[in-house]
Structure 1
Amino acid sequence: MSTTNYHRFPVPAPLEGTGPARIISMCNQKGGVGKTTTTINLGASLAQYGRRVLCVDFDPQGALSAGLGISAHDEPTIYELLVGAVKDPHEVIQHSEVEGLDVIPANIDLSAAEVHLVTEVAREQILASVLRKVRNEYDVIIVDCQPSLGLLTVNALTASHGVIIPLECEFFALRGVALLVETIEKVQDRLNPSLELDGILPTMFDGRTLHSREVLDRVYDAFGDKVFETVIGKTVKFPDASVAGVPIVEFAPHHNAAEAYRQLARELVARGAVA
């Protein structure tokens, strides 16, 4: 499949109204595979196409917040919402510089959430109850999960309608996907029967190397039509955009990586995963 056919999917038609949002978890227990980069740039691309988007930073590292230039130090965060210190999500939501893209930030406090939640009633459903309060105000909510299959990730999957798995085009990255799919199936079976695997997104692809091409072929062989046609290439522009606190679709809008994320947004709409 071509990794450069950026006009394969049509530009989405405008929406007549807003909400209720479809909630998507960006999930992989392996770190460094492009979850946060994808959350930021998919969210920004959907916002550019007129969708109201809320990105939820669900990783104690707070990379999503930093990548969108959002302060998460002196302001309330997702942690306060989870533990009930703040009841209204509107007190936590911050507007990014991208029109139509809002953020619920996170910081290191979130690392204590699993210990706090472990004794709570319906502990797997706390994020779902938080997002329910704002779901009608957005078209898409994207949850950027931490690299773990712990209670926070289970909360995200329980709250979600779909899950996207960014998968680095590297051999060892393939090994953990079976475990993640097993976790998704357990959540489907026990907590959230409506959860769907929206797709597996190949990331950090380097077409110059045989290794990347072979891994991509194996991903297609293993997962078939569950693999997005869009493939995200490797580029130094991503860290540059992160340092600037701006999505690559605005930092370098004509770069191939920006075009790829806009195609991903169009592909999600074409697949019916996003309105």
Structure 2
Amino acid sequence: MIRIAIANQKGGVGKTTTAINLATALAASGWKVLLLDLDPQGNASTGLGIRHDQRTLSSYDLLTGDATVEEAAIASRVPRLDVVAATVDLSGAEIELVDYEARTERLNMALSGAPTGRWDVCLIDCPPSLGLLTINALVAAPSLLVPLQCEFFALEGLSQLLQTVERVRERFNPDISIFGVVLTMYDKRNNLSGQVAEDVRAVLGKLVFKTVIPRNVRLSEAPSHGLPALIYDYRCPGSEAYMALARETIARLPKKARAA
């Protein structure tokens, strides 16, 4: 099972929106997908229609060792897409995990126990911080997908994230690399969006996906209905962009990645 962490310590960059809709698009393309919600806010879980009374086992239980990933996974409304939901218990996990042995390896150990062939790919939606939860995700996943808002301050956040990735590579996970950077909230009417996009591509080159996610009201509305935008309105520009992003993502994945 391929593991991809979706992370950016800056909030409001479209990270959870990307996690929900990329997972849905991959599932629609025939991939068996596991979306692991590691954000205490649980927005990815809510955005996929997972009710709070369904979250008897969550990503918190994976980290503490009280549940296996197979036990915690919940089938979503989207065929071939399962979710390990998040609860508010994760809020205290940063402190609780300090006392655990191999505290940065907890998620990696949990995902290593996933049954072979159950899922092709696991997307991990990280919280908007660089704490122990995100570190667990970066240790568990050799690939990092970075949503980057097309605004000036996003560039500063990217620099900090790249530094963190380098530290994780040195101390915990020598195999981690950036899978790709996806530009989000792009407004073609705004010159700054175009300038930020140019600057990011000049620095990171082919790491930046060709697909750009536009500002789109349907992407914002969909979570309130517990649906991915691709189901809420599959013809909107945001949905079309995420389908294009899924095609690019699949092209970057190993050809033999699919489970039998």
What range is the shorter-chain TM-score in? over 0.9
CA deviation digits over 1:150-179, x for unaligned, max 9? 111000000002000100000111111111
Structure 2 counterpart of 1:141, from 122, 147, 151? 122
For 2:253 and 2:35, how far apart are their aligned partners in 1? 19
SS in 2 for 1:118: helix
Structure 2 counterpart of 1:32, from 2, 12, 20? 12
Partner of residue 89, structure 1? 69
Structure 2 counterpart of 1:178, from 147, 159, 181? 159
Structure 2 counterpart of 1:100, from 63, 80, 91? 80
CA deviation digits over 1:184-214, x for unaligned, max 9? 1111122111111011110000001111111
Partner of residue 90, structure 2? 110
SS in 1 for 2:214: coil
Matches within 5 A, 1:155-234: 155-234=136-215
CA deviation digits over 1:234-269, x for unaligned, max 9? 011012111111111111111121111111111011
CA deviation digits over 1:84-136, x for unaligned, max 9? 2x232222111000000000000111011111111211110000111111162
Contact 2:70 2:115 in 1 (8 A): no
SS in 2 for 1:124: coil
Instruction: Report the AA paired with residue 234 of structure 1.
Output: R
TM-score normalised by structure 1 residue count: 0.89
Contact 1:71 1:105 in 2 (8 A): no
Matched residues, percent identical?
44
For 1:59 and 1:92, how far apart are their aligned partners in 2? 15
RMSD, aligned CA = 1.3
Instruction: Report the AA paired with residue 136 of structure 2.
Output: N
Partner of residue 61, structure 2? 80
Matches within 5 A, 1:60-79: 60-73=40-53, 75-79=56-60
SS in 2 for 1:176: helix
Cα distance change of structure 1 residues 273 and 165 upon mapping to structure 2, 3 Å threshold = farther
For 1:129 and 1:212, how far apart are their aligned partners in 2? 40
Contact 2:57 2:67 in 1 (8 A): no
Gaps of 5+ in 1: 1-20
SS in 1 for 2:122: strand
Instruction: Report the AA paired with residue 103 of structure 1.
Output: V
Gaps of 5+ in 2: none
For 1:212 and 1:248, how far apart are their aligned partners in 2? 23
Figure out how many residues of one structure are paired with residues of the other and give that number.
254
Instruction: Report the AA paired with residue 79 of structure 2.
Output: E
Q: Indicate yes or no: 2:239 matched with 1:258.
A: yes
For 1:120 and 1:165, how far apart are their aligned partners in 2? 28
Partner of residue 101, structure 2? 121
Cα distance change of structure 1 residues 273 and 263 upon mapping to structure 2, 3 Å threshold = farther
Instruction: Report the AA paired with residue 113 of structure 2.
Output: K
Instruction: Report the AA paired with residue 165 of structure 1.
Output: V
For 2:254 and 2:155, how far apart are their aligned partners in 1? 24
Contact 2:24 2:230 in 1 (8 A): yes
